Chain A
Amino acid sequence: MWMNLLLAIATLLLLAGAFGALLGYASVRLRRDDDSLVEQIDAVLPQTQCGQCGYPGCRPYAEAIAEGDAINKCPPGGEATIQSLANLLDVEPQPLDAEHGEEQPKRVAYIREAECIGCTKCIQACPVDAIVGAPKFMHTVIESECTGCDLCVDPCPVDCIDMIEVARGIDDWVPPHPADRPLTHDGPVIATDQRPAEASA
Chain B
Amino acid sequence: MGTQFDFPGGIHPPDNKLRSLQTPIRQAPLPDRLTVPLRQHRGDPGRVVVAVGDHVLTGQPLSEGQPGRSVPVHAPTSGTITAIKSHEVPHASGLEETCILIEADGRDQWYKLAPCPDSASTAERYDHLHRTGVVGLGGAGFPTRDKLQSAEAAPDVLILNGAECEPYITADQALMRERPDSVVAGALALWRLVGAGRCLIGIEDNKPDAIEALRQSAEGTSVEIRVVATRYPSGGERQLIQLLTGLEVPSGGLPADVGVLCQNVATAVAVDRSLRLGEPVIQRITTLTGEALARPGNIEARIGTPLDHLLFEAGLDPQRLHRLIMGGPLMGFDLTTTGLPLIKTANCLIAGTAGEFPDPPVPQPCIRCGLCEQACPVDLLPQQLYWFASAGEHRKAEHFDLFDCIECGACDWVCPSHLPLTEYYRHSKGVLRQEQKEQAEADHARQRFEERQARLEREQAEREERRRARQQAREQRHNVAPAEASEAATAAATSPTAPGPDRETLIQRRDQARQKVEEAQAQLAEAREQTPEAVPKLERALNKHQKRLDAAEKALSDAQEDT
Identify the A interface with B (CB < 8 A). Answer: 42, 45-49, 57-59, 127-130, 145, 147, 169-170, 172-179, 181, 183-189, 191, 194
Contacts and interface: CB of A to CB of B under 8 A. Distances in A.
Contacts, number: 88
Top 5 A-B residue pairs of the complex, sorted by shortest distance between their CB atoms: A174-B430, A47-B445, A47-B442, A175-B426, A128-B448
A186 B423 CA distance: 20
Interface stretch (B10-18, B355-363, B540-548): B355-363
17 contacts: A46-B438, A47-B449, A58-B446, A59-B446, A59-B449, A59-B450, A128-B445, A145-B445, A147-B441, A169-B97, A174-B431, A175-B427, A178-B363, A186-B362, A187-B362, A188-B362, A191-B416
A57 B97 CA distance: 36
B91 interface: yes
B431 to A, nearest CB: 6
B93 interface: yes
B361 A57 contact: no
Given A174-B431, A175-B92, A191-B364, A147 B445 contact: yes
Contacts of A128: 445, 448-449, 452
B354 to A, nearest CB: 10
Given A129-B448, A170-B93, A47 B430 contact: no
Contact of A172 (B89, B363, B434): B434
A183 B91 CA distance: 21
A129 B452 contact: yes
A177 B424 contact: yes
Secondary structure call for the A interface: loop
Interface residues of B, number: 40
B420 A178 contact: yes
B558 interface: no
Contact of A145 (B89, B443, B448): B448
A175 B423 contact: yes
A169 B39 CA distance: 12
A127 B93 contact: no
Given A46-B438, A184-B359, A173 B93 contact: yes
B390 A173 contact: no
B93 A184 contact: no
Contacts of A145: 444-445, 448
Given A175-B93, A187-B362, A191-B417, 19 more contacts: A45-B442, A47-B441, A59-B449, A128-B445, A129-B451, A129-B452, A130-B448, A145-B445, A170-B39, A170-B97, A172-B434, A173-B430, A174-B427, A175-B427, A178-B390, A185-B359, A187-B359, A191-B364, A194-B361
A49 B448 CA distance: 11
